[in-house]
Structure 1
Amino acid sequence: MKAEKVIDVEPVGQVTLVRNERSRYFRLRVKPNGLAHVSMPVLASESKAIDFVRSKSTWIQEQQQKLKTGLTVFEQDSSFRTKFHQLKVVKVRQSKVSNSIGNGIIQINIPEHINHEHPPIQQFIRRTLVEVMRYEAKAYLPNRLQELADKHQFQFEKVFIKHVKSRWGSCSYTNNINLNVHLMRLPDRLTDYVLLHELAHTREKNHSTSFWSLLESVCPNSKQLDKELKNYQVDVF
C-alpha cells in the first residue's frame, strides 16, 4: 500500500513523498519532469524526509540542471507558439536586442553581429515569452476556469496566476486555485485538463479513486491526458 503527499522543499521545489510499506530506507530519484520523488518507510516522519531531501539538494539540483540541457534554442525558423501569439526571431541592423509584441506576433530583434545562441539572448527570449504568457494567462485562465466550473457545477474561491517551476496548478484546502502562466503554451485539451483537475480537487482533496472517478466524469480520458501532460515540463521549454 502506498500513500503520496506533495510538498515544497527549498531549494529544490516540489517533492513527492511516497510512504511505501516495502521501503526500509529513504530512496530518492529525480523524474524526467525534474521533480524529486522520495520513497520512504511508512512510519518515518515527514520532517526526517525533508531533512533527507535537503541533505541531497546539491545532487537533486545537478540532476535538474542536466534535464534542462534539453531547452529549446530559439532561432529564426523556430515555430514556438503561446495561445494567442507566434514567436518570430529576426536579425536587424541595430546595436541592442529588443522585442515588439502585437497583432499576434512576439518579435525578437537580434543585432546582426550577435549570435542568437548566446545564453543572454536566449534568456531574453525566454523572459519575453514568460511575460507574454503571464499577460495571456491573466486575461484567459480565470474566465475559462469559471466557464468550466459553471458547466460542471464546481465552486471555488479565488484564482491566482503565478509563474512557478514545479506545477501546472494547485488547489488549496480553502478552494483557492493557483494556475501557472505556462499553461498558455499547452494544447487547449491539456489546459482544460489541468483546470478541471484542480476544480475536481475542490471536492476531492487527494488523488483517491473517488477523485479520478469524479475527474473522468467531467473530463473523459483523463488518465490519458494526464499521461500526455507528462511529456511537457513546467519550466523547460
Structure 2
Amino acid sequence: MWFQVGFLFMAKNPERRIEYEGLGEVLFAKHRRARRLSISVRPFKGVRVTVPWRVSFAAAVRFFEEHRSWAAKSCAKMARVEAEQRAAVAELPVIDRAEARRVLVGRLAKLAGMYRFSYNRVFVRNQKTRWGSCSGKNNINLNVNLVRLRQELIDYVLLHELVHTRVKNHSARFWRELDKYVGDAKYLDRCLRDEGIPRVD
C-alpha cells in the first residue's frame, strides 16, 4: 500500500526517503532525464538512488535491495573519506569570515561588471558540499573556504555561478558560455574537484 500511495503522488513529490539500518537515510529521487536506475554514494550526501520518471518507487526499492551490499561497502569507504576531510579542515587556520566575504563579494561584483552579468543577493557560508550555487532567483551562494583556493579557481567558481544567471543547467550551452570567460572550463572543473569534496552547482 505504501508504494501504491507513493506512486499516486509522484508528480507532487518525486522523492522518497527510507531509513536503512547501517546505511542511514537513502534518497530515492525521480529524474526525467534518467534512462536507468542507478545508485550513488557521495561524501556528506549519503546514498541516492536515481529513478527514471516512468519507473515506480517499488521497483527502485527492489533494485536497491539487490545492490545493498555494494552500497554498504561504498558507505564504509565514504565514511573514511569524510573523516579524513574533517581532520584536514580542522588543521587549517581559521578564516576571517568578514574578510573572506569582502574579498569574494568584491571579486564577484568586479567580474559581473567586466562581463555584464547581473545577480540578486550574495550569501557567503561555510558549506560542506558546495563551492557555490545559484538559485532560480539569481541569488548566489558562495563557500567561505573559496578564499583558500588559488585565484584562478576562485574566479572559475564565481564565473560558473554568474553564467548560471543566464543558463540554469549544466547543458552543452552552459559549458560553451562558461568557456568564453574562463577558457577550458571542464579542465578547471577537474582541478577544482582535486581540491576536495565541495562541488559547484
Q: Corresponding residue for 1:67?
A: 81
Q: Corresponding residue for 1:20?
A: 34
The amino acid of 1:140's aligned partner reads V
The amino acid of 2:107's aligned partner reads R
Task: Tell me: CA distance 1:15–1:200, structure 2 relative to 1, closer, same or farther (3 Å).
Answer: farther
In structure 1, stretches of 5+ residues that fail to align are 1-6, 75-121
The percentage of aligned residue pairs carrying the same residue is 35
In structure 2, stretches of 5+ residues that fail to align are 1-14, 18-23
The amino acid of 2:40's aligned partner reads R
Q: Aligned equivalents of 1:66 and 1:197: distance in 2?
A: 30
Task: Tell me: CA distance 1:65–1:135, structure 2 relative to 1, closer, same or farther (3 Å).
Answer: farther
Divergent runs of 4+, >6 A: 14-17
- Alignment deviations for residues 34-62 of structure 1 (CA, whole Å, 9 cap, x no partner): 5555442242479x98xx99xx8x95764
2:119 aligns with one of 148, 156, 160: 156
Q: How many Å apart are 1:182 and its aligned residue? A: 1.2
Task: Tell me: CA distance 1:45–1:194, structure 2 relative to 1, closer, same or farther (3 Å).
Answer: farther
Q: Give the alignment's Cα RMSD to 1 decimal.
A: 3.9
Task: Tell me: CA distance 1:210–1:142, structure 2 relative to 1, closer, same or farther (3 Å).
Answer: same
Q: Corresponding residue for 1:40?
A: 51
Q: How many Å apart are 1:70 and its aligned residue? A: 3.2
* 1:45-124 matched pairs, under 5 angstroms: 62-71=76-85, 123=90
Task: Tell me: CA distance 1:20–1:134, structure 2 relative to 1, closer, same or farther (3 Å).
Answer: same
Structure (1/2) with the larger helix percentage: 2
Q: Do the aligned residues in 2 keep the contact of 1:133 with 1:181 (CA within 8 Å)?
A: no
Task: Tell me: CA distance 1:188–1:133, structure 2 relative to 1, closer, same or farther (3 Å).
Answer: farther
Q: Do the aligned residues in 1 keep the contact of 2:29 with 2:49 (CA within 8 Å)?
A: yes
Q: Corresponding residue for 1:199?
A: 162
Q: Aligned equivalents of 1:211 and 1:189: distance in 2?
A: 19
Q: Do the aligned residues in 1 keep the contact of 2:122 with 2:141 (CA within 8 Å)?
A: yes
Task: Tell me: CA distance 1:192–1:215, structure 2 relative to 1, closer, same or farther (3 Å).
Answer: same
Q: Aligned equivalents of 2:28 and 2:145: distance in 1?
A: 19
Q: Aligned equivalents of 2:147 and 2:75: distance in 1?
A: 26
Q: Aligned equivalents of 1:140 and 1:20: distance in 2?
A: 39
TM-score (norm 1): 0.57
Q: Corresponding residue for 1:171?
A: 134
Q: Do the aligned residues in 1 keep the contact of 2:29 with 2:51 (CA within 8 Å)?
A: no
TM-score (norm 2): 0.67
